[in-house]
Structure 1
Amino acid sequence: MESNYANVETQEIFGHPKGLLYLFFAELWERFSFYGMKALLVLYMTKSLLYSDDKSFGIMAAYMSLVYVTPMIGGMIADKYLGYRKSIILGGVLMAAGHFFLTIEYPVFFYGSLALIIVGNGFFKPNISTMVGTLYTEGDKRRDSGFTIFYLGINLGGAIAPLVCAWIAEIYGWHYGFLLAGIGMLAGLFVFKKGTQSSVFGNKGLVPNIDHYKKKTFGLNRGGLIWLLSWGSVPLFALIIKFNEFEHYLVWIASIFLITYIGYIMIKVTTKERKRLLVAVYFTGLYALFAAVFEQAGSSITLFADRNINLIGINAAQTNSINSIWIVLLAFPFAGLWTFLNKKRINPNSAVKFGLGMLFLGLGFVIFGFSAQGVDEFAKTPMFYLVFGYFIVTVGELFLSPIGLSKITELSPLQYVTFIMGVWFSANFYGHFFAGKIAKLTTVKVGETNPFSQGVLGKITEIITGMSESVLYENTNETFLQLYSYVSVYSNFGVITMGIGVFALMISPFIKRLMEGVH
């Protein structure tokens, strides 16, 4: 296999390898398509397809979790057969097809479209992130800054897409919003292809072993067979989404596979690599907990905004852009902050950053819960708390997510780097699976009790929200009951997440020692 760190491309722009600019814009457009569709999906199901909240959350959780389990498979295939470039092209084509098929309003196309995006993301997502890592030599101090800039591209797409796609969907219809998302995916493919033609990636991302790639099976070379099998797997994923109540079996299968294959890697690598890999697994575990809470955005928080927030100037689907707008505003200051702290030799290590990320995430959700203190007679809360809460959550995200992307490329054994990047994205698989369970806790019916209304949890709810469990018995207004359900869940999970952050900070010295020199 080619070395990922040798012969690094010397062309630079703004102090970073020129290839970063192309990957930045390719990822921007790909994320435009992904987040544009995501912003519409729950509202489309509840308002157009007339699915219940419970069914919509189930489909959303299955779709979003599967989107992040396929990168493990895509990473393995890229490492062994396709290389990063061909994987990115294959993934982009599948995802574009998925977005376009969403414009056809039939159940088979609805589930099939989501399945196409799931399979495509498995090839696209881990490989473009790993391509960023190949642009920097091991130990390059620009790495964290480079990944933060790349993360800005992700969130520029995430900021623009909900605003534009939701606006188009509201004026012209849902399917035009999905169509625009598909066009965004094609734009991302065009930018990446332009980068490969401009030679800004040097020899990075090529087929790792051309003889393995050309070897024929059933008359097709490995590349053609992988394309065929990728399209052929779509019906399987469509069925999993449709029958999402059985998804927990997939969680067990994925977990057994992960544990077995990571155990195999542990045996094959050196002691130093083994210690670093343990840290990569620990960071992935923390990220999964982060995602389970964070990914209420796009599901329960979108409905919370639609039903219980006094929105000004935007609709509920467009609130999905708030987090990404904060990322856009804060990404360069954070990238500059890491560079400045490096020069001063006071940049906190990654284990500390992860703990702080969890703390800020929890605090942001406590703020969402606190919004109930300003509730009006229509069970609406001030929009300020949503915007400010997202600001705090975004600070937490910038401490954790882009730093995680950067560290995974350093902590992973070189020959398994793309698979381990897929493992990192599997945190989103687990996160979205449990995010769906958390979202379902916010569904409410008159007369039902709330798991966060009694005992210690009920006390936490009352202190933060100003609402006691009496609202469940004294108020038959379902809008107030729904508000209580949202803010009680957010308050308690916010406090739990802050506790996890404190624990992560306490054990950070031990984690730092295991990192064997990686900052």
Structure 2
Amino acid sequence: MTTTNSNEAFGHPKGLIYLFFAELWERFSFYGMRALLVLYMTKQLLFTDDMAFGVYAAYMSLVYVTPMIGGILADKILGFRKAILLGGVLMALGHFFLTFEHPIFFYGSLGLIIVGNGFFKPNISTFVGDLYQKGDTRRDSGFTIFYLGINLGAAIAPLACAWFAETYGWHYGFVLAGIGMVAGLLVFNKGLKNNVFEDKGLVPNQEIYDSKWLGLNRGKLITILAFLSVPAFALVIKFHEFEHYLVWIISMFLIGYIFYILSTVNADEKKRLIVAVYFTVLYTLFSAIFEQAGSSLTLFADRNVNLVGMDAAGTNSINAGFIILFAIPFSMLWTFLSKRKKNPNSPIKFGLGLMFLGLGFLIFALSAQSIDEFARTSMMYLVLGYLVLTIGELFLSPIGLSKMTELSPLKYVSFIMGVWFSANFYGHFFAGKIAKLTTVTQGETNVFTKGFFGDITEFITGITPEIAMKNGDNFQQLFSYVSVYASFGVISIGVGLLAILIAPIIKKMMIDIH
């Protein structure tokens, strides 16, 4: 079913345009800072690789756990509009405070961004789904266009922020990221003033919102508590080695709340919710491998790739650049295939997404076949690997965003969107563990250089531990990277094949959802 009315532009609701640009600028700020973070820690703050990966993984994982809380608060009290505005303000402050080189400001800034993202990220994505009626065939296309906005920001930001950081100093790069967040807020606010969202995204129950506790209405109280929670998240990042305790706490909360939802919904909604959890588990694996991009792949590019035309921070824009090229063609492809009833169903798309991801990392590993005397590889492999895993991302990530809004029971939609983003929490937590496998200790090798995976690594890269150690530190570091990439590439392809095999069972549980 496709609905049309006067409040549309380019075949989609007008609100999509404003959410597209608001998300574009928000992601500009987020990915601009992310591209600088590991390099800033290792080069300016002089953190070890191990410590930088730990801080980065803790920060990036927490950024994706707070959306569960922000989703619940938007569902019950705030509504999408107020949650997005609150989140944007917190994130803008976080980026600007990074300009002060002091541990309190460094960890506090990361805490502000974590809390702000919790209010902003799940609710703007859910807001997109709210623009379309259930069964609207434009939904997947709309989310793919929205995903283009995410990646326009993600493509421009690393190049722009890296140039400012390189030319004027690290802190100017962070300032530019903050300006991007302010721009996103202004675009969203303009959409509110122009009433393009009509009656969507408002406070769900004004009476509950206005009810008093400690002399304040619940809406204002949430704002105060949001700011007060920042030091707690800053401390978790500071003492990131204890983050696994938080993983257990969040896991118990998630499992408990999902079982609660299962007890309140009908049989069809139960099946769909189980599928939403299944998709989230697959996305967790995807995220854990894919998110080497901001950590170990950035250092791999810096140390072991002959870069042309950009620095290591700028390589973070390659993936987003390919999404810009392919998002609209993929959006048109899904619409084209739907009209001919040949559009692969979502479980198959998830399996294909994982297989393309794995192939991309095999290409990164294959780059070892072309190393020079300085243990540096051709940039061609880096670009080609990013191209292939980007195709995998387009099969999986925007489709997952779209399906969460369809699979979740209506009154829990923002929470379920938060559950979807929890895949990034777990993904980044495990991505940090994977990245740490690439760190080099003199005379030692990682677990993927021996046995079955060692054979795979040798077959793909042509390098053995003995060859790497004989040729010095640079070769040993390169071997550490490519052995991990080859092994996780194979794992991803294997899980993708399994997902395709069981796709008919999963599709049946989705009832009438494609």
Interval of TM-score (by shorter of Structure 1 and Structure 2): over 0.9
Aligned counterpart in structure 1 of residue 114 of structure 2, from 115, 118, 127: 118
Q: Within 5 Å, which residues of 2 pair with 1:116-515?
A: 116-475=112-471, 477-515=472-510
Cα distance in 1 for residues equivalent to 2:503 and 2:15: 34
Give deviations 1:246-295, integer Å, cap 9, x for gaps: 00000000000000000000000010100000000000000000000000
Residue 93 (structure 2) aligned to one of 94, 97, 121: 97
Does the CA-based 8 Å contact 2:469-2:476 persist in structure 1?
no
Contact 2:32–2:158 at 8 Å: present in 1 too? yes
Q: Partner amino acid for 2:506?
A: I
The answer as to 2:33 corresponding to 1:37 is: yes
C-alpha deviations, 1:342-385, integer Å up to 9, x for none?
A: 11110000000000000000000000000000000110000000
**Residue identity in the other structure for 1:97:** L
Matched, 1:85 2:81: yes
- Cα distance in 1 for partners of 2:512, 2:6 equals 25
Q: CA deviation at 1:482?
A: 0.3
Report how far residue 454 of structure 1 moved: 1.4
Partners of 2:5 and 2:223 in 1: how far apart? 29
Residues 8 and 202, structure 1, Cα contact 8 Å, conserved in 2: no
Contact 1:152 1:331 (C-alpha < 8 Å) held by counterparts: yes
Q: Which residue is equivalent to 2:65?
A: 69
CA distance in 2, matches of 1:79, 1:265: 14
Instruction: Verify the 8 A CA contact 1:447 1:472 in the aligned structure 2.
Output: no
Q: Report which stretch shifted further, 11-20 or 32-41.
A: 11-20
Determine if contact 1:30/1:157 at 8 Å carries over to the other structure: yes
In 2, distance between residues paired with 1:136 and 1:393?
Answer: 29
1:57 aligns to 2:53 (yes or no): yes
Partners of 2:467 and 2:237 in 1: CA distance: 36
C-alpha separation in 1, matches of 2:137 and 2:76: 29
Return 5+ residue gaps in structure 2 as ranges: none
Take 1:207 and 1:471, find their aligned partners in 2: how far apart are those partners?
63
3-state SS, counterpart of residue 446 of structure 2: coil
With the length of structure 2 as denominator, give the TM-score of the two structures.
0.99
What is the CA–CA distance in structure 2 between the aligned matches of 1:48 and 1:302, rounded to whole Å?
16
> Is the contact made by 1:305 and 1:311 (CA closer than 8 Å) also made in structure 2?
yes
Kindly provide the CA deviation profile for residues 214-239 of structure 1, in whole angstroms up to 9, marking residues without a partner as x: 01111111111000000000000000
Provide the secondary structure at the position in 2 that maps to 1:252: helix
Displacement after TM superposition at 1:417 (Å): 0.2
Query: 2:293 is paired with a residue of what secondary structure?
Result: coil
Query: Using the alignment, how far apart are the partners of 1:77 and 1:117 within structure 2?
Result: 18
Q: Deviations over 1:42-97 (max 9, x none)?
A: 00000000000000000000000000000000000000000000000000000000
Taking a change above 3 Å as real, the CA distance of residues 71 and 89 of structure 1, as seen in their structure-2 partners, is: same
**Cα distance between partner residues in 1 of 2:80 and 2:262:** 24
Report the Cα offset of residue 8 of structure 1.
9.2
1:445 shift after superposition: 2.1
C-alpha change, 1:341 and 1:8, in structure 2 (3 Å) is closer
Cα RMSD (Å):
1.1
Structure 1: segments with no counterpart, 5+ residues: none
The CA distance in 1 between the partners of 2:340 and 2:403, in whole Å, is 21
| Mapped partners of 1:385, 1:321: distance in 2 | 15
How many pairs align? Answer: 513
- Alpha-carbon distance, 1:449 to partner: 2.4
Distance 2:422 2:512 in 1: 25
Cα distance between partner residues in 2 of 1:283 and 1:305: 31
For 1:518, the aligned partner's letter is: I
Off by >3 Å, runs of 4+ in structure 1: 7-10
The C-alpha deviation readout for 1:411-462, integer Å capped at 9, x for no partner, is 0000000000000000000000000000000000221122111111111000
Q: Residues 249 and 9 (structure 1 numbering): CA distance in 2 closer, same or farther, change over 3 Å? A: farther
In the alignment, is the contact (CA less than 8 A) between 1:9 and 1:200 conserved in 2?
no
Q: Deviations over 1:454-505 (max 9, x none)?
A: 1111110001111112124423x21110000000000000001000000000
- The secondary structure found in structure 1 opposite 2:449 is coil
Which letter does structure 1 place at the counterpart of 2:37? L
Partner Cα separation in structure 1 for residue 8 and residue 377 of structure 2: 48
